[in-house]
Amino acid sequence: MKIEENIQVALTHCPICSAIPHEHLLNSLKNVEFQKKSFKKGEIIAHQGDNFEHLHILTKGTIRTKMASEEGEEIEIEIINAPKPFASAFLFAQKNSFPVEVESIAESEIIMIPKDVILKLFQENLNFLQQFLTFNANKAKFLSQKLNILTIKSIKGKISFYILEELAAVQKKEPHQNSFQMRRNQTQLAAYFGVSRPALARSFSQLKNEGIIAAKANRVTVLNIDKLRSILAAL
Amino acid sequence: MKIEENIQVALTHCPICSAIPHEHLLNSLKNVEFQKKSFKKGEIIAHQGDNFEHLHILTKGTIRTKMASEEGEEIEIEIINAPKPFASAFLFAQKNSFPVEVESIAESEIIMIPKDVILKLFQENLNFLQQFLTFNANKAKFLSQKLNILTIKSIKGKISFYILEELAAVQKKEPHQNSFQMRRNQTQLAAYFGVSRPALARSFSQLKNEGIIAAKANRVTVLNIDKLRSILAAL
DNA sequence: AAATAAGTGTAACATTTGTTACAGTTGTAC
DNA sequence: GTACAACTGTAACAAATGTTACACTTATTT
């Protein structure tokens, strides 16, 4: 099977494939019937519960995964930009179905590589295996952090947790920084937390009135980190 | 290092080690400085956030993992019986710290095997790798199911989801069975859902009054599965 | 069998969050 | 600059859940 240029480029930048030497990757995939699919903005790539036996790699575009018991009530799990695998942490499960709804939110392209090919690659290439393990372990961490946010019951608590996490991330680079840029607006954050938008705004206002944080445009400044921490502790 | 009899037995029954031929396992571990630790009932094995570089295997006893932002508000994640690995899905993460609090709830014993030994075993033994992948993928599924329960906002919805899952599991063995034994009492279930016990009881009563389920002792009977499903759909 | 503990059902009330609606603010397209 | 859309702040009210308390039932122990 001929591999298109753009897919090759995507794969060399994919966090789990980049360990495989370029030629080796080409050789492996050349002999393999991997599938390619394209999706328009708004199309559903996979439904929650669908079975799969392939490693899915998003080679182009952006997807959003969300969880919903049926219609209605949905909360966003993750937004994934190409090139990256998705649902890879579930590939080797006994009953490996998509745990989330996967929606294309831009012109997207995915390729699908059969499970057994992946296993073969693991044997031929220890680095690939390690990257796969690391990528999935990071995903598991992400899931468990998400779990943590949902575990916190009060909206103020969720906000505090979120802000402390974001601030910690920023402080790794600039240790004394006490403000950061919000990556999500309130509407998105409310979906992420699984709460209503006005309720989120209300709690945000309370934190501001209490002098714990300040917010201007999409920049949040932490004024009293101890109080912020105590909100979590006091839960 | 000498390997005690009981640990050997435990390992051969451990879901990720059972693929390794007995002699091979002994040989591999003989040359390795793996650690052994014992814990009494109630002792904390690991705190949320602790770093680790070893695969942890519970060889004896029972542990409970729970999540908590600090003191107070805790929700139970999982109860694990020996012999099983724990936190294995996070072992290869970039910053691999315990995502949960791990508590011994019985006389327990664990062994710890360094990461690099595990990698070596992967290379020598494809079955071991596959079992490890499967075990972790199942964990990821478990986490995402847990996420699903927390995502559902109403208590009635959580109960419906839970009952439908349990019933589906039972029906795999007995297709026309419409009742099942509860593995958790209401107090435990409330902790699992992250809600208060009286609120759970109230919602339970409502489902009973509406004729959707019946419950006697710890046996739940589904009387109207369509209505149960529609509770989830209507969310 | 009595005593005790563990689990369940339920009620009154407090608290939090959701819902709906609208006004003000900011950003963007034309 | 105007018009429009997206975002934010906020208020009144509804609905759900938490809290506390207690009665009742069911296991377990003695």
The per-residue DSSP string of B59-111 comes to EESEEEEEEESSSS-EEEEEEEESSEEESGGGTTSTT-B-SSEEEE-SSEEEE
Q: Which residue is nearest to nucleotide D18 (CA to C1')?
A: B196
**Nearest one of B121, B131, B126, B108 to B43, comparing CA atoms:** B108
Q: Is the pLDDT confidence value at B163 over 90?
A: yes
Which residues are bridge partners to B64 per DSSP?
B79, B103
What pLDDT is attached to residue A22?
Answer: 77
- The one-character DSSP state at A100 is S
Cross-chain residue pair B137–A75, CB shorter than 8 Å = no
For A158, the closest chain B residue by CA position comes to: B69
Tell the residue number behind the tokens 């990698």, with chain if given. B119
Q: Is the pLDDT confidence value at B71 over 50?
A: no
Q: Beta strand pairing status for B179-181 and B84-86?
A: unpaired
The secondary structure element, H or E, covering residue A102 is strand A101-104
Rounded CA separation A217/A205 (Å): 14
B194–A contact, CB cutoff 8 A? yes
**Nearest one of B212, B167, B170, B165 to B192, comparing CA atoms:** B165
Rounded CA separation A200/A208 (Å): 12
What pLDDT is attached to residue A71?
Answer: 42
Which residues are bridge partners to B102 per DSSP?
B46, B65
Chain B CB contacts of A129 below 8 Å: 122, 129
What pLDDT is attached to residue B199?
Answer: 96
Nucleotide nearest to A217 (CA to C1'): C26
For chain A, 235 residues long, give each residue's pLDDT as a single digit of tens. 566 777 778 888 889 888 777 777 777 777 777 889 999 877 889 988 889 999 999 999 888 888 765 444 566 778 888 899 999 999 999 988 888 888 888 889 999 999 998 998 898 888 899 999 999 999 998 888 888 888 888 999 999 999 998 998 899 889 999 999 998 999 989 988 999 999 999 999 999 999 999 988 789 999 999 999 888 876 5
* Whether the bond into B83 is cis, omega within 30 of 0: yes
What pLDDT is attached to residue B96?
Answer: 84
Q: Is the pLDDT confidence value at B3 over 80?
A: no
**Residue B35 Cβ under 7 A from any strand C atom:** no
- Taking CB atoms within 8 Å and a gap of at least 24, the contacts of B143-147 are B143/A140, B143/A143, B143/A144, B143/A147, B143/B89, B144/A67, B144/A90, B144/A99, B144/A100, B144/A143, B145/A99, B146/A147, B146/B77, B147/A67, B147/A77, B147/A99, B147/A143, B147/A146, B147/A147, B147/A150
Could you tell me if A102 and A44 are in contact, meaning their C-beta atoms sit under 8 angstroms apart? yes
Could you tell me if B114 and B60 are in contact, meaning their C-beta atoms sit under 8 angstroms apart? no
Rounded CA separation A135/A52 (Å): 19
More confident residue, B19 or A74: B19
**Nearest one of A231, A141, A142, A146 to A193, comparing CA atoms:** A146
Interface of B with A in 51-70 (CB under 8 A): 67-70
Tell the residue number behind the tokens 């490996």, with chain if given. A96
Rounded CA separation B86/B98 (Å): 10
More confident residue, B73 or B72: B73
Rounded CA separation B190/A171 (Å): 37
**Nearest one of B61, B64, B63, B11 to B34, comparing CA atoms:** B11
**Nearest one of A66, A227, A74, A85 to A160, comparing CA atoms:** A227
**Nearest one of B59, B64, B10, B13 to B36, comparing CA atoms:** B59
Cα B187 to Cα A152, B76, B96, B199, B219: the distances in Å are 19, 11, 32, 11, 15
Q: How far apart are the first and last CA of chain B?
A: 57
**Nearest one of A115, A112, A121, A134 to A21, comparing CA atoms:** A121
Which of A93, A126, A134 shows the shortest C-beta gap to B141?
Answer: A93
What amino acid occupies position A102?
A: V
More confident residue, B74 or B135: B135
Q: Above pLDDT 90, what percent of chain B?
A: 45
**Nearest one of A128, A111, A88, A84 to A1, comparing CA atoms:** A111
What three-state secondary structure class fits B114?
strand
Q: State the nearest Cα–Cα gap between A54 and chain B, in angstroms.
A: 14
In this prediction, residues B170-174 reach a mean pLDDT of 90
What three-state secondary structure class fits A85?
strand
User: Phi/psi at B174 (nearest 5 deg)?
Assistant: -125, 95
Give the best residue of B55, B69, B73 to mutate against chain A (max A CB count within 10 A): B69
Which of A67, A99, A137 shows the shortest C-beta gap to B90?
Answer: A137
What pLDDT is attached to residue B131?
Answer: 94
For residue range B22-60, list pLDDT tens digits in order. Answer: 777 777 777 777 889 999 877 889 988 899 999 999 999
User: Phi/psi at A222 (nearest 5 deg)?
Assistant: -90, 120
CA of B200 to C1' of C8 (A): 11
